[in-house]
Structure 1
Amino acid sequence: MKKGLIVLIAILIIAGIFVMSIFGSYNSLVALDEEVNSQWAIVESSLQRRFDLIPNLVESVKGAMAHEQEVFTAIADARARLAGAGSVDESVQASNELEGALARLLVVVENYPELKSNQNVTGLMDELAGTENRINVERNRYNEVVSRYNTTIRSFPKNILAGMFGFETRQYFEAAPGADAAPKVNFD
């Protein structure tokens, strides 16, 4: 009976270690999932800052450039899509469209010396440039967290646990197609 009790205690200890390991793995998956969500919230906060700056910049530039309506329309459309985005993928796509429109606006501003000398425009451009840098930094951090999360849920044995509890891979924040090319502005 004594040997049977020792074997039972050993089995219980091994089972307890196994259960605690599962709890620890599950909790680490939850923590990584929340880290991804938190980092996305920071990206969204940076995107919101840009979203809030754009109307001021556009209004400051608009008066001097009434004939550049196409650029302003593209910015307004992209901004509206960003405001209505319901998912990470929609936000990424709308943000990339907005970046393209803003890049065209920046080229236009560079080609109008009277705008470059306007203090309001210059201040807003500096704010926008700083915001774009913040967005880039936060996107990179988001992608790092997503990489760590995706690696964890795809690695054995956590992939089994992740599959059981519905943890799915997350999408990276990727550049829009054509983002590697400089924007072209036609003044004809």
Structure 2
Amino acid sequence: MGRGAKWAIGIGVVALLLFLLLVSPYNSLVNLDEQVNQAKSNIEVTLQRRLDLIPNLVETVKGYASHERETLEGVTKARQQVAAAPTLEGKMAANQGLTSALGRLMVVVERYPDLKANQNFRALQDQLEGTENRIAVARTRYNQAILAYNTAIRRFPTLILARLLGYTPKQGFAATPEAQTAPKVKF
């Protein structure tokens, strides 16, 4: 075997090693990016579940509290704003208004003991409460997926590949400014 053939084999081995060193980080980046996308989809699915429950809740309350029209319309309008938001970030921002409107609805419910005792209403309220918990869990998982992704694109040697392929940091969800203040409870 000649000197040129040995060089060609050496260069081939080095090229193969470089290729193998790049395949694993690339696959990891793709996997982490897909986990972020899946976590984002899970939030959207959970928000949709919440939106689907609200009309039933409003209709149940309407039967008992027909003169509370303004509150019921506020919930319906806030729900429509969440549904119309084109991005997850927009949906989460509109979701704050919906949470506020639902809070006002629950104040109305307190005025109607028969409604609070109604099995249909209680079942809907339980489902909505469970959905609120699911939203919180989905947001946490989304933030965890983003943490893993952002960490990976900043680690060496993956950061070189990430920059070459255009992988950029993603933004997670943070608490709203309103969440920094504890609610005041008066009896």
> Which bin holds the TM-score, normalised by the shorter protein?
0.7 to 0.9
State the 1:114 CA deviation: 2.2
Aligned residues of 1:146 and 1:171 also touching (Cα < 8 A): yes
Aligned residues of 2:44 and 2:88 also touching (Cα < 8 A): no
1:112-135 residue CA offsets vs partner (Å, 9 max, x unmatched)? 322211222111101111111112
Distance 1:111 1:183 in 2: 21
State the 1:148 CA deviation: 0.7
* Structure 1 residues 55-134: aligned runs within 5 Å: 55-134=55-134
Deviates more, 1:20-29 or 1:43-52: 20-29
In structure 1, what is the equivalent of residue 160 of structure 2?
160
Distance 2:123 2:71 in 1: 20
Deviates more, 1:144-153 or 1:158-167: 158-167
In structure 2, what is the equivalent of residue 17 of structure 1?
17
State the 1:5 CA deviation: 4.0
Of Structure 1 and Structure 2, the greater helix share is in 2
State the 1:48 CA deviation: 0.9
3-state secondary structure, aligned to 1:102: helix
Q: CA RMSD in A?
A: 2.4
3-state secondary structure, aligned to 1:121: helix
**Structure 1 stretches (4+) deviating beyond 6 angstroms?**
none
Gaps of 5+ in 2: none
In structure 1, what is the equivalent of residue 54 of structure 2?
54
Distance 1:77 1:183 in 2: 24
State the 1:58 CA deviation: 0.8
- TM-score by length of structure 1 reads 0.85
Distance 1:179 1:130, change over 3 A: same
Distance 1:67 1:155 in 2: 60
Deviates more, 1:148-157 or 1:63-72: 63-72
In structure 1, what is the equivalent of residue 135 of structure 2?
135
Gaps of 5+ in 1: none
Distance 1:104 1:180, change over 3 A: farther
Distance 1:107 1:183 in 2: 15
Work out the number of aligned pairs and report it. 185
- TM-score by length of structure 2 reads 0.85
Distance 2:113 2:90 in 1: 36
State the 1:37 CA deviation: 0.9
Distance 1:77 1:54, change over 3 A: same
